[in-house]
Structure 1
Amino acid sequence: MHRTAMLPEDWWDLTAEALTEDPAGQDVVALRARVDRLRQALAGRAVVDQACGMVMVLAPCRRGPAGGLLVDISRQCDTGLPEVAAALVAAWEGEPLPLRMRRALRRALRRLYAEDRGCDSPSAGEPSGKGRP
């Protein structure tokens, strides 16, 4: 038996509910959940790419270190990467960057510049190296 499914134009916005006895309905629910996650990931990706480009221009570096800087800020602030990227883009457009992100950005930039110079910057708890032999 061959089935043809006609989907309404707004099918992206629909939520599917399936009976536990209906395996096809469960597949639809699983696929729609996956599509939703992929759509969210793609939407966040554009702002991450924009923020990455900003970092590449402002702190002359390549894409890898710029992306690493954004990930570093994200980890320090315990905030998702798309949220950090959106905050940086908004700051570029005149919105104030939250204090926690500003501090994390400074630390990440210091590390990036230290790595660029070929030396390691001390971590927060280590002495600065003054007075060492």
Structure 2
Amino acid sequence: MLRAYQAIDMSHRLAADHRRHADRARTEIEALRRENAQLYKALAGRPVVDQARGVLMAAGAHGAQDAWEVLVDTSQRTNTRLRLVAEMVVAGAADGPVAPHIAAQLRESLTRHAAER
């Protein structure tokens, strides 16, 4: 009889261990799915960011890193997503609309970065 209780107890412990492992795996899978979605979104926005860097390099930023810093600076100072700032820079190069506060901050960032050089 004692062996039967021991077997049942062991079975319960194994089932509990299995549930813990399954819960941990589910949590990890969800975290990986969120990270994957974020990376996909970042990758989708990459071409427009690279185009904006090229526009800024032509407008006075000295190199790719300076252009990147101008985009990031403008994004942070205007509390605007980087991709949206980049889209406006690219649209502005084609005489499209650029929000006035973004345009003003871009000019300020370009001037600041040029002065630092």
1:22-54 CA-to-partner distances (Å, cap 9, x unmatched) read: 434444322222211110111122211111111
1:108 is aligned to: 109
Q: Shift of residue 102 of structure 1?
A: 1.0
1:48 is aligned to: 49
* In the alignment, structure 1 residue 88 sits paired with structure 2 residue 89: yes
Task: Find the aligned partners of 1:91 and 1:35 in 2 and give their Cα distance.
Answer: 31
* In the alignment, structure 1 residue 97 sits paired with structure 2 residue 94: no
- Asked which structure has the greater CA Rg, the reply is 2
* In the alignment, structure 1 residue 71 sits paired with structure 2 residue 72: yes
Return 5+ residue gaps in structure 1 as ranges: 1-19, 117-133
Task: Find the aligned partners of 1:71 and 1:30 in 2 and give their Cα distance.
Answer: 26
Please give the residue correspondences for 1:109-124 in structure 2 after superposition, counting only pairs within 5 Å: 109-116=110-117
Return 5+ residue gaps in structure 2 as ranges: 1-19
- Identity percentage of aligned residues: 36
**Given residue 29 of structure 2, which amino acid in structure 1 is its aligned partner?**
V
1:61 is aligned to: 62
If each structure's helix is expressed as a fraction of its own residues, which one has the higher value?
A: 2
Question: Greater RCO between the two (CA within 8 Å, min separation 6)?
Answer: 2
Following superposition, which runs of at least 4 residues in structure 1 exceed 4 angstroms of deviation? Answer: none
**Given residue 69 of structure 1, which amino acid in structure 2 is its aligned partner?**
V
Q: Considering only aligned residues, what root-mean-square deviation do their CA atoms show, in Å? A: 2.1
Q: Shift of residue 78 of structure 1?
A: 0.9
- The answer (yes or no) to whether the contact 2:61–2:110 under 8 Å persists in 1 is no
**Given residue 34 of structure 2, which amino acid in structure 1 is its aligned partner?**
A
1:6 is aligned to: none
- The answer (yes or no) to whether the contact 2:61–2:113 under 8 Å persists in 1 is no
